[in-house]
């Protein structure tokens, strides 16, 4: 449970177990961000689950936001949780049908703008590493931020999906850093925190920039300006511990 001052509203995480979906229990992790003027403004919702695919989680999120619109201007979180417990099965069935349709029709959402958030453990040869990341982003026409805050290093990228995939391959297979003895080495300590299609509430970065932040609040502001506050709440607080 995170609480941020009035300017940011309030964010909290809820885990629920839904029975009898595909004959197994599904553990859903819901992250709600209630803006300051909630409930006259819709909450931002993030849905994750180890038992569901990312596409299914996105579908559940979309359906929850549609349901939220029915409850605008009245407290709705409790109703939304009840709704998802009752309707998860239907959403997943629908999601599977749509998914099959998409595969047969076309590449589905390959053409949209995608976003990637990476966490790096360290950079020994920082100047060289930063130059390499800037060069890859520029060559692949990716925008975003390389962010340093204390020991935390995050790379946030936006661009077409194939470029994002290509970037990931470069990041994993190129000798981008040096090991403790100074020999060139590949990146082995990278984690993909999030890879998803850009939603309407997310803003596009126009450029790729390298930025240093002196406090978590500054980093939070960067995410907030980009309409990515739920991404911040979901992935950054655990790194601060």
pLDDT at site 195: 87
240/191: higher pLDDT: 191
Domains of the chain, by residue range, sit at 10-98, 113-239
Alpha carbons 54 and 16: distance in angstroms, whole number: 17
pLDDT at site 107: 40
* Confidence bin at 111 (pLDDT 50/70/90): low
Name every residue whose Cβ is closer than 8 Å to that of residue 159 and which is 6 or more positions away in sequence. 113, 114, 140, 141, 142, 143, 167
| Mean pLDDT taken over the chain | 84
Neighbours of 238 (CB within 10 A): 9
- CATH code for the part of the protein at 10-98: 3.10.110.10
Q: Contact at 8 Å (CB) between 79 and 66?
A: no
* Confidence bin at 113 (pLDDT 50/70/90): confident
Name every residue whose Cβ is closer than 8 Å to that of residue 60 and which is 6 or more positions away in sequence. 28, 47, 52, 84, 88, 91, 92, 95
Neighbours of 18 (CB within 10 A): 19
* Confidence bin at 104 (pLDDT 50/70/90): very low
* Secondary structure letter of residue 39 according to DSSP: T
pLDDT at site 23: 64
Alpha carbons 17 and 203: distance in angstroms, whole number: 33
Domain 113-239 of CATH type 2.40.30.10: no
pLDDT digits (tens, 9 = 90+) for 48-68: 888 888 788 888 998 999 999
* Secondary structure letter of residue 199 according to DSSP: P
pLDDT at site 8: 65
């Amino acid at each position: 449970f995170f609480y941020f001052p009035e300017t940011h509203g309030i964010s909290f995480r809820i885990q629920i177990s839904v029975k009898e979906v595909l004959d197994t229990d599904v553990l859903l992790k819901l992250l709600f961000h209630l803006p300051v003027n909630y409930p006259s403004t819709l909450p931002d919702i993030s849905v994750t689950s180890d038992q569901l695919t990312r596409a299914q989680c996105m579908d559940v999120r979309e359906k929850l936001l549609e349901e939220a619109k029915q409850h605008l201007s009245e407290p709705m979180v409790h109703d939304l949780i009840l709704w998802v417990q009752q309707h998860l099965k239907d959403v997943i069935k629908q999601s599977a049908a749509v998914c099959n349709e998409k595969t047969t029709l076309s590449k589905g959402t390959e053409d949209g703008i995608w976003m990637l958030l990476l966490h790096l453990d360290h950079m020994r040869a920082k100047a060289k590493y930063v130059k390499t990341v800037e060069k890859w982003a520029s060559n692949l026409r990716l925008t975003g931020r390389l962010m340093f805050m204390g020991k935390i290093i995050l790379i946030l990228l936006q661009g077409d999906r194939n470029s994002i995939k290509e970037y990931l391959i470069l990041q994993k297979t190129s000798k981008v850093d040096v090991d403790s003895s100074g020999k060139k080495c590949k990146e082995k300590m990278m984690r993909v925190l999030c890879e998803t299609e850009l939603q309407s509430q997310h803003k596009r970065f126009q450029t790729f920039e390298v930025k240093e932040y002196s406090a978590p609040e500054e980093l939070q502001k960067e995410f907030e300006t980009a309409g990515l506050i739920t991404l911040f709440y979901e992935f950054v607080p655990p790194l601060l511990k």
